[in-house]
Every structure is written in C-alpha cells, then in structure tokens.
Amino acid sequence: MGKEPVTEQFFIDKLSEAKDHFERALDCKHTEFDDLYPYMIEHPQFFWYKRYVAWSELLTITGLCKELDFNWKQNFSDHQVEYLEERVMSAKVLDFWFEKNEALI
C-alpha cells in the first residue's frame, strides 16, 4: 500500500472512526483498547480509563480538523459539538452524549 495524499476526507474518516470508538467506549462495548490491555478488564477503573483514551483521541482529531479548517461539525449533533468545543469529559458528556438521552435534560 503506497502513500496516499492526506485529504480532508481522510481526516473526516478518521474523525468518524474516533467518534465510533468513543461511543463504543461509552456503551462499554468492545474496542481495540480491550485487545491492547486485556488484563485491565479486571480493574474497576478500566472503563473510565477506556473512555478517557477514546475522548482524547476524539479531541485530538477534532483539533486537527479545526486547525486545518476542515468541516468536522457535520458529523455531530449540536450538543455534541458543544461538548467537544468545551473539551472536558464531564458527567454531562457521559450522560447526554447520545440524542436519545437529550429528552431527559
């Protein structure tokens, strides 16, 4: 596989993957992080750490998209964009990331 040019679509695809990774971590579903640290599943802090890693990945790619002036917001709801711009993974983010929970606010 040769080098491909780094395009806006490349970053948007990576952003979509990071969003999926974060959402799977929120739902306590399997991610590649589980494969990297299988012994961690036994520790109570594992799911918090897994979410933090996925959130950091999402913020990193979002930050690169902002810096490169790529249209990243189209992949998120308005409240998700707000959370990402605030950058802090708070209880509000964990509880209300998915739109189905928005009606509970």
Q: Residue 96: which domain range?
A: 8-104
3 lies in some domain: no
17 lies in some domain: yes
pTM: 0.82
pLDDT tens for the chain, residues 1 to 105? 567 788 999 999 999 999 999 999 998 887 877 777 777 777 778 788 889 999 999 999 999 999 999 999 999 999 999 999 999 999 899 899 997 654 544
Between the alpha carbon of residue 69 and those of residues 11, 46, 63, 66, the distances in Å are 11, 34, 10, 5
For 1, the token pair is: 């596989």
Structural domains in the chain (count) = 1
95 lies in some domain: yes
Residue 48: closest CA among 57, 39, 40, 36: 40
59 lies in some domain: yes
Contact between 57 and 22 under an 8 Å Cβ cutoff? The reply is: yes
Q: How far is CA 56 from the centre of its chain?
A: 7
